[in-house]
A and B are shown apart, each in its own frame.
Chain A
Amino acid sequence: MSNNWEMVIGLEVHAQLNTSSKLFSSSPNQFGSEPNENVNFIDSGMPGMLPVMNFACIEMAIKTGYALNFNINKYSVFERKNYFYPDLPQGYQISQFEFPILTEGFINIDNDGNQKKIRIERAHLEQDAGKSIHDIDPKFSFIDLNRVGTPLLEIVSYPDLSSAEEVVSYMSSLRQVLMYIDVCDGNMQEGSLRADVNLSVRKKGGELGTRCEIKNLNSFKFIRQAIEYEFKRQIDVIESGGKIEQNTMLFDTSTGETRAMRSKEFSHDYRYFPDPDLLPVNLTQDQIDKVKTSVGELPQAKLDKFIKDYKVDKDIAKIITVEKQNAILFEKMISETDVKPKFIAAWLVGDIFAFIKENNLEVSSLNEKTKEITDLLKLVSDDVISNKAGKEILPKVLNGQGKPSDIVKELGLEQVSDSGELEKIIDEALIGEEENISKFQSGSDRVLGYFVGKCLKATKGKGNPKLINKILLDRLKK
């Protein structure tokens, strides 16, 4: 395979909106319920049932519009996309086609340390379909309509992406923003965020090729695998003299390969037309403006703030801003203490995240414990206890075993910071060390370490190392 091929990729991302009820019915919008538990007569496409729009979905779309720099259209129209499938009870999907609610947005993604602007053509609201379960019985499929009518925002990018890495970066940036503005829970495993990848190949700088669409990818790993496989497949076809046929592909997660869906006798023709059960959406400027305040700070703004205002290292700031709940926890801690943000940040991404991971917790579960955490960090930063002692106590504090100061007392971990006491210990330690003292005075710094160690030992590790250092230097320089 020659390496002068490049890929051109556009993404259709389906984000499930985290409303309480569905887009056009008041059934619960909830994952993981018993089969057909969240299904009413509208969802199951019973005769004579009519859709009524959930306004929260419009508000979430507007919010996304602000966050992704879209034109927010006052006028949008729900249409019917007609096709037959057992998990599509109405025989059509209600979606927006000619007049979507959002048009012409963009997002900046991180591309090898540089920013790249990815243009987004449109985003529209539509209903999710149900699920057919194929693995219970060898001969039958079982249909669960719980997911029917779950609100989706389909976000369609321009073909601005040119590698699997960029696609993953784009997808994770989108995910981050949608979670920040609280419109999608971002849970890819549960299908809250899925992508259809449109990929074509061309010789570098050449004409665009025919594209294939790989449907329904719900993990970064699968996206990467599918793109790499499909890229190679298309090049192989062309280089061996074949032609790419415009096809809808499925990605087989067990083999890591893509394959064309059973080709139909005739091409698809969805026969979109405005849903006569639903009048057009006509938003007022006031309705659009109202949503603006709820958008909140976006990930990029937070990152900039953490670096500039809080002086947090860029890499650490990035880790914290990956997820909104990290940033919330961090900012809550900052607001409750005068300990330097940079100091808190280091502890957060270090020992605190380690504790969360080890115990399989939600980051947000620590929001209740920020007072205890910052009290502990204050003890460390004020040298009341050592860094080491802090690390030792942290799990106890997080497990709710008491106030940090009490634990410190109980375990006797308080550092000796009384200079009088330390002076006494140091003076004793220096007795009989004339040889080493003169070594220090003739310029051997190594000896200082030896003395600090000796003094710490004498305090059973509780002496404040900084203070010991200072007093020692004082004495030795005399």
Chain B
Amino acid sequence: MKNSISHIKNSLRNKKISVEELYDEFLIKAKSSKNNTFNLLLDKENNILSIKESQKRYENGNPLPLDGIPLGIKDLFCTKGIRTTASSKILSNFTPNYESFVTQKLLDDGSIFIGKNNCDEFAMGSSNETSFFGPVKNPWKNKNYPTDDLVPGGSSGGSAAAVAEGTCVASLGTDTGGSIRQPASLCGIVGLKPTFGSCSRWGIVAFASSLDQAGPLTNSVEDAALILNSINKHDFNDTTSSNHFREDYSNDINNKLDQKIKIGIPSDYLKDVSGDILSQIENTKKALIKHNVEFVDVEFKTTEYALSTYYILAPAEASSNLARYDGIRYGVREDGKSLDDIYLNSRTKGFGDEVTRRILIGAYVLSAGYYDAYYRQAQKVRRLIKDDFQRIFNDVDFILTPTTPNEAFKIGDKLDPISMYKNDIYTVPTSLAGLPGISIPSGLSTNGLPLGIQFIGNYFEEKKLLQIAALAEKELNFNEQ
């Protein structure tokens, strides 16, 4: 594939293009993009040192794994000396003096950041419409309504759209309830949410700490594996970071499956879905069945509770995580006569509607008299959901689901929060269980819009997960459609 990391690295190695030319090419394209995919683009001067060092390594014949590759970074990762806003007004002037753990790993592996991708404010949203910097437009158009601007999904909407429009080779996003997989699906690219605890959360603006996880949005499964190789490391400074053994995820990614693979398809996920969505699953079955893959029906007992659980727990954690934004030590301070006024004004004016809504939900479900009925009950149900997945994984290697219940929709179409929240119906359960999930593009809807399928693996089985995804990718052949 032309824009794959390995292809670009080959061109750099063979001197078909220099690191600087590559950067220019992407930057020019990004600057002319009309999709509002970046909150900030870094001019060449900002990166000139890294570009030169990278070039030198190519010339010396010892390039690093991601050397010279222009990446987009969701504007939720703190980047040292580079403005980091979480797409919120309250952080719109914030420049951290530290680098997040995972972006540091990407820098260590030679990649070059082209800019900070637009996203939903504090990663709260499923359409990238809640950003202080305005909505991101999906580069894809509905062939029946070609003038409509469509959402890219969210919250890593800028990341997904940027990869899809070709303004960065890959982007680093975060996924709390589907924020990597859902926009990847709506933009026709690959998105991987690793197992909770794989990639350090240190330096990522927190949304819901028990769910947040960084991961790649890429053109191919192999690219996702290459990025994962870089960011999947144990971090002592994140107490929830796992210190299990990490494999090389890109090595052997195209190997033939040597054992019989059993994939469960949750029948309860497929009730009431459109023919477009159903055919994604059918096509995938057809494509894989010849590769010694067996498909079985499985059924969850907890699916109908997953969204409720998520929309209690995530806002509860968010309401507390966002308490630090007060205009006292950093961020935008609004005027006020008293200290209390400063607090109230900075927070009230600094947060948009959706963030405000979730802070309120969170404060409510944790408040005296409601804690047991909502927060504690949701934590208990979360255990039931986790157990439900483990029951199914006792019998199957992977679970296959649609990534989203629908294709990309028109900006401004979904005003009701609950119907927006339902976009995450297939991705949220995985997040609650902490399991890894990958979305790959599987085909086009009747409107000519991309749709994705999601493979879910067991804990820390990213290697296997990437292999089955790579196989499906090859068979479905989306990029040549």
Contact = CB atoms under 8 A, between A and B. Distances in A.
Interface of A: 41, 44-53, 80, 82, 84, 86, 89-92, 141, 143, 269, 271-273, 276-279
B132 to A, nearest CB: 15
Contact of A52 (B78, B237, B316, B317): B237
Contact of B324 (A51, A90, A143): A90
A50 B237 contact: yes
Contacts of A86: 326, 328, 339
A269 B240 contact: no
B300 interface: no
A273 B316 contact: yes
B202 A48 contact: yes
Interface string B357-395: 000000100111001000100000000000000000000
Contact of A269 (B77, B238, B367): B367
Contact of B97 (A41, A80, A278): A41
A175 to B, nearest CB: 33
Contact of B366 (A49, A51, A143, A271): A271
A82 B366 contact: yes
Contact of B78 (A44, A48, A279): A48
Nearest to A132: B339
A378 to B, nearest CB: 56
Nearest to B362: A271
A273 B368 contact: no
Given A47-B206, A269-B367, A271-B368, 4 more contacts: A41-B97, A47-B96, A86-B339, A271-B319
Given A84-B323, A277-B239, A48 B204 contact: yes
Size bracket, chain B contacts: 35 or more
Contacts of B470: none
Interface string B304-322: 0000000000001101101
8 contacts: A41-B98, A47-B84, A48-B206, A52-B237, A53-B239, A90-B324, A271-B366, A277-B239
Given A45-B329, A47-B94, A276-B209, A271 B320 contact: yes
Nearest to A83: B323
A50 B239 contact: yes
A387 B371 CA distance: 73
Nearest to A40: B98
Interface of B: 77-78, 84, 86, 91, 94, 96-98, 100, 201-206, 208-210, 236-240, 316-317, 319-320, 322-324, 326, 328-330, 339, 343, 363, 366-368, 371, 375
B209 A45 contact: no
A95 to B, nearest CB: 13
- Summarize A's interface: helix, strand, loop or mixed: loop
Contacts of B201: 48, 50
Contacts of A276: 208-210, 240, 317
A53 B320 CA distance: 19
Q: Which 8 A-B pairs have the closest CB atoms?
A: A91-B323, A271-B366, A276-B209, A276-B210, A45-B324, A48-B203, A47-B205, A91-B324
Given A84-B326, A86-B328, A50 B238 contact: yes
B261 to A, nearest CB: 33
A85 to B, nearest CB: 9
A46 B371 contact: no
Nearest to A51: B239
B208 to A, nearest CB: 7
A84 B326 CA distance: 9
Nearest to B84: A47
B330 A46 contact: yes
A53 B236 CA distance: 11
Contacts of A48: 77-78, 96, 100, 201-206
B86 A47 contact: yes
Given A82-B320, A89-B329, A52 B239 contact: yes
Nearest to A47: B205
A271 B202 contact: no
Given A84-B343, A86-B339, A46 B96 contact: yes
Q: Which of B84, B323, B329, B375 has the most CB of A within 10 A?
A: B323
Contact of A143 (B239, B328, B375): B328
A44 B239 CA distance: 19
A52 B78 CA distance: 19
Contact of B240 (A80, A272, A277): A277
